[in-house]
Amino acid sequence: MNRSDKQPLALRGLFTLKSVAFLLMTPNPTFFLMKRIWLIALSSFFLLSSCDVLYQVAGEVLAENADPTQVEIIQGLKDALTTGTGRAIQTLNQEGGYLNDPLVMIPFPAEAQFAANTLRDLGLGKLVDDFVTLLNRGAEDGAAKAAPIFRDAIREMTIADARDILLGADNAATVYFQTRTRDKLAAAFAPGI
């Protein structure tokens, strides 16, 4: 192996800083990034609002009435979801809400990881780190915009939706919110990121 094989690709003339910058600015990484952001945003609300809230509210409803009505059960579910999403939004909306939590931090887009590695090889790792910080700060700002979107989805929940969440798979609430909020969350998070 000669000395030029050990050099970063950019130093061997295969890539220039300009071509790396072009890769970072192309529309495709943005598309994949937005797709990833809404998935992270949605899942982070449920990671932070654990099932304990659901059980707590359900327990309160059951304690008040030994034989709760269907309406009371559904209202208990809605209260639990409202409390959980509210807490998650409050946590994520703070500075460092995304960046300082490895469960929800938005990393450099995998689709552009080659560009990040090249920048780091060139000694420009701070640019990559700054980019990740900006992504996460944008998501923190966007978290506040998510509150009314989740509130509307909870308010519009039907009896059938609530039954599906309560009796469905472990991810039934996530699936419900995903189908009801995907486009609105993407629109809310897009301007800041």
pLDDT score for 164? 87
Q: Which residues of 67-79 are buried (b: 16+ CB within 10 A; e: fewer)?
A: ebeeeebbebbbb
Domain spans of the chain, in order of start: 29-107+137-189
Mapping DSSP to helix (H, G, I), strand (E, B) and coil, where does residue 143 land? Answer: helix
pLDDT score for 122? 92
pLDDT score for 9? 36
Query: pLDDT > 70: what percent of the chain?
Result: 63
pLDDT digits (tens, 9 = 90+) for 130-161: 989 988 888 888 788 888 999 999 999 988 89
In this predicted structure, the answer to whether residue 34 has a pLDDT above a threshold of 70 is no
Q: Which residue has the tokens 């923190």?
A: 140
pLDDT digits (tens, 9 = 90+) for 95-124: 998 889 888 888 888 888 898 899 999 999
The pTM of this model reads 0.59
23 pLDDT band, cuts 50/70/90, is very low
CB atoms inside a 10 Å sphere around CB 13: 9
